[in-house]
Structure 1
Amino acid sequence: MGRNSHSAVILTVSWIETCIGLFIFSLRFLSNWKFVGRFRWDFALAGLTVATETIAQVFLQLSVNAGMGRHLNDLLKSQIVTALHWSWVFQLLAITASMLGKLAILAFLVQIRGRHEKKPWFLIILGFLIGAINTTVLGTILGQCKPMNKLWDDSVEGTCNPGRKVNQNYSFFQASFNTLSDVLLAVYPVHLFWKLQMKLRIKVVLSILMGLGWIAAVCSAVKTYELKALTETTDITYAQSHLLIWASTEAWIVIMVGCIPPIRPLMDKVLQRLGFTSKKKSTPYQYYESSGHAAYGTNKSNLASHSNFQSNAYGGRKKPSEDDNPGWMELGTFGGTNGSEEHIVNGPKGVTIRTDIETRFEDVERHSGPSSGDSSISAKYPIRGRI
């Protein structure tokens, strides 16, 4: 690898992050498939993010194979050109992946707010700024040298002034904004969950899960500092090593932060299997004869606490209508004070939705003849709102 080479460090860190990121995303896929039963547009954005960053990792590997991370004096001219070429491709894709990952988190937050809330203008404006600012930096990178291929081949006639300095200044602004956006995405869920009627422990857990964006903010801040390598020309293949590592780290951390909260249903199931948590006991149905007297017990059953409902809530065979769903089900439901379960997202006007079911089985008077098909089932679904 040569003297004081960073090549091994670049590959070790980036591939470990890639494997962890792909594993966490596969858990999200499994959670959506097995328990949620649906794939919304926030999942699609997350999938596009993972695909983009995985492709970026391939180009980072090609760049390191050509000599990235090694000193310029230890490389041939052809190695330098190839290493820088693939390095810039990696950086463009890593920036795109980081942008898409933030938009996926935004989409997730929009989903869990519920459809009955006011239009999320804060999230919409933030999403627009994330898209616009990060897309613009792609242009400043590609346009900093004329002709473009002088960006990776300094022997080509042309100039990179003042484009290289303009790109560095704008990249500092773009990276600083990304740090701010990560902080906002970490703080917003705390504000969202703290308004809901649920136990303090649940608020804290959800706020921590959704507040992991602080980690992404730290990575983005470090990457901002490492942007000083953009103006390094004397030993560019060695100087960009830390920048490439943090570019990879930022993108994968954003992916992981966006995928951890949605895998809560899967984690609940795993913890139940391991015996760390217990399953909620469903209350027996109340059966009635045609006279109206209870025949098999007198306990009422709450729809949200029954196992059949639980499977539907996480996307069973018979899924509830999306239009009737008061909140996004991927985060699950939580036990209420009277045995029913409450959605973590408020209904219209801050009302917490509680759904109870009372099922009655009514048999028609038995006659001497055959009576197949002479039974009917009626169910009541009272909806209670608690302010």
Structure 2
Amino acid sequence: MSPGSSSYNAGPGILALNWAAAATAVLVMTLRVIAKLRIRHYALNDTVMLCALVLALAASVMITLAIGHGYGQHYQYLSRANQVLSLKYYTGFQCLSIVATGFGRAAFALYLLNILRQQRFIWFLLWVIFALQIIINIVSVITILAQCKDISSIWDTTVITTCWDPNVDRIYAYVQCSINTATDFFLAIFPTYTFWSLSLQKRIKISLVILMSLGLVAMVASIMRVVYVDSIAERGDQTAATVKLSRWALAECYLVIVTASIPCIRSLVIASVRNIHSDNRSRARKSLPKISGPTPDRAGFSAWTAAQQSHSRRRESVEYILSNAELVRLEGGGIPKRMDVMLITNDSSSTKS
């Protein structure tokens, strides 16, 4: 189907991407909230991310309504009513998706603050990123809505009014997208560098690096928005010219939410897998014949040893690091450990173990 023909319609493809991404984000966000409540670590960053998801879903509704009125088709082939309504809902989609993306990045900055807050400079820098994401994305919405004296002229081309030069909106969009891209890069790379410098097992380091660098995927979508941002200056056929920009805006919005939430749900996934494995082992043990157990003292010592090993492994586990707000004591390059000593006695004598 030729992009210039009257039968051209990119709407169904956008709808499929839109609601598939929305469903994935809702699932991941639900798991995030469950995981945080399970370890009693629900915090402000989770609330901000929930706000980002609500805004993203509202944006999804707006683009769905826009497509229902002809968005994704050529403007000239739409009825007069659909021309107005498609651009009106598209404008709503633009505004909501921009703010949702900003809230998503701000939430991830807050999440990192809990982990890296003992590093003064990074603590300050993350607060700057938080404020910058809120400000630049809200200002972007203002530039969209305030570009004309009569706001209705944004979606109704028959309204005669005074507007800014379209290049003003385009240039600011370049600035906004560039800052968002740089933010994604920093929020992915710096935690990766920080965790790699810790004295941890290589397996743990690799897991942390993968989890914390997922934001690079969202960065790709942000870069693609920069590539297609010129299309917003196309006033004559916005319903078709901005299709690629809208696809990447949707992808960026939901990728920010999903990639920033995946590190939070790892503990829940691991716990579920362990529970399944434990149930399978319990069933297997029930089928084995019973044998005599160890002496009481040995049993107590074995239980204590296992508990200490489990505690040590837990302190160096990915889920402990990502959920512990007091992690970063990087002076000396490691995580402090505590060793407990237990005295085990029997009836005849006392021995130190």
TM-score, normalization by structure 2: 0.82
Q: Secondary structure at the match of 1:332?
A: helix
Aligned residue in 1 for 2:329: 347
Aligned residue in 2 for 1:23: 27
RMSD: 3.3
Aligned residue in 1 for 2:132: 129
Encode CA deviations 1:258-305: one digit per residue, 9 max, x unaligned: 1111111012123324549x99xxxxxxxx9xxxxx696445447664
- Report the Cα distance in structure 2 between the residues aligned to 1:187 and 1:268, rounded to whole angstroms: 25
Encode CA deviations 1:62-104: one digit per residue, 9 max, x unaligned: 1111111111122111111111011111110100010000011
Q: Pick from 63, 66, 69: which aligns with 1:66?
A: 69
- Report the Cα distance in structure 1 between the residues aligned to 2:274 and 2:300, rounded to whole angstroms: 29
Aligned residue in 1 for 2:291: none
- Report the Cα distance in structure 2 between the residues aligned to 1:343 and 1:250, rounded to whole angstroms: 28
The reply on whether 1:331 has 2:300 as its aligned counterpart is no
Q: Secondary structure at the match of 1:260?
A: helix
CA contact (8 A) 2:115 2:328 kept: no
The reply on whether 1:12 has 2:16 as its aligned counterpart is yes
- Report the Cα distance in structure 1 between the residues aligned to 2:265 and 2:326, rounded to whole angstroms: 16
Matches within 5 A, 1:89-238: 89-113=92-116, 116-118=118-120, 120-162=123-165, 164-238=166-240
CA 1:295/1:5 → structure 2, altered by over 3 Å: closer, same or farther? closer
Amino acid of the structure 2 residue aligned with 1:345: L
Aligned residue in 2 for 1:382: none
Q: Which moved more, 1:39-48 or 1:344-353?
A: 344-353
CA 1:268/1:77 → structure 2, altered by over 3 Å: closer, same or farther? same
Aligned residue in 2 for 1:366: none
- Report the Cα distance in structure 2 between the residues aligned to 1:32 and 1:109, rounded to whole angstroms: 15
The reply on whether 1:33 has 2:37 as its aligned counterpart is yes
Q: Secondary structure at the match of 2:207?
A: helix
Aligned residue in 1 for 2:286: none
CA contact (8 A) 1:303 1:356 kept: no
Q: Secondary structure at the match of 2:148?
A: coil
- Report the Cα distance in structure 1 between the residues aligned to 2:325 and 2:230, rounded to whole angstroms: 48
Aligned residue in 2 for 1:317: none
CA shift at 1:131, angstroms?
2.3
The reply on whether 1:44 has 2:32 as its aligned counterpart is no
Q: Pick from 219, 225, 248: which aligns with 2:250?
A: 248
CA contact (8 A) 2:114 2:326 kept: no
TM-score, normalization by structure 1: 0.75
CA contact (8 A) 2:53 2:257 kept: yes
Q: Pick from 54, 70, 82: which aligns with 1:79?
A: 82
Aligned residue in 1 for 2:290: none
- Report the Cα distance in structure 2 between the residues aligned to 1:302 and 1:271, rounded to whole angstroms: 20
- Report the Cα distance in structure 1 between the residues aligned to 2:118 and 2:167, rounded to whole angstroms: 48
Aligned residues: 324
CA contact (8 A) 2:148 2:154 kept: yes
CA shift at 1:138, angstroms?
1.4
Aligned residue in 2 for 1:379: none
CA shift at 1:234, angstroms?
2.0
Encode CA deviations 1:216-273: one digit per residue, 9 max, x unaligned: 1110010111111111122211111111111111000000111111111012123324
CA 1:62/1:188 → structure 2, altered by over 3 Å: closer, same or farther? same
Encode CA deviations 1:108-135: one digit per residue, 9 max, x unaligned: 111122x544361221222222222222
CA shift at 1:51, angstroms?
0.9
- Report the Cα distance in structure 2 between the residues aligned to 1:27 and 1:129, rounded to whole angstroms: 28
The structure that is strand-richer by fraction is 1
Quick one: percent identity of the two aligned structures?
Answer: 25
CA 1:269/1:166 → structure 2, altered by over 3 Å: closer, same or farther? same
- Report the Cα distance in structure 2 between the residues aligned to 1:156 and 1:15, rounded to whole angstroms: 34
Q: Secondary structure at the match of 1:180?
A: helix
Give unmatched runs, 5+ long, in structure 1.
Answer: 280-287, 289-293, 314-325, 335-341, 363-387
Q: Secondary structure at the match of 2:336?
A: strand
